[in-house]
Amino acid sequence: MNVLYHPGNANVVADTLRRLSMDGSVIVQNGSESSLVAKIEEKQDSNSILLQLKGAVYQQRVEVFSQGGDGVLRY
């Protein structure tokens, strides 16, 4: 997870995480998943053509698409 900093009051959480992480006492993990991404993954996994495309991307035979760490195809 990246903590992006933008000057101003809008960064109270980012600034706090940055300060806490300086002494090594905080580990931040991104455990949330977008419901849209979950729905896309479900639909992709139930489509035989997209499953073939995922296999081709995995074998690096197709370069136009990529597959994220969550297994979802991206264009």
Q: Which pLDDT value is given to residue 44?
A: 92
Residue 59 pLDDT level (bands cut at 50, 70, 90): very high
Q: Where are the beta strands (DSSP E) in 1-75?
A: 66-67, 73-74
Residue-wise pLDDT for 17-48, tens only, equals 666 655 555 555 555 567 788 888 899 999 99
Structure tokens at 64: 């136009």
Backbone angles phi, psi at 64, to 5 degrees: -70, -35
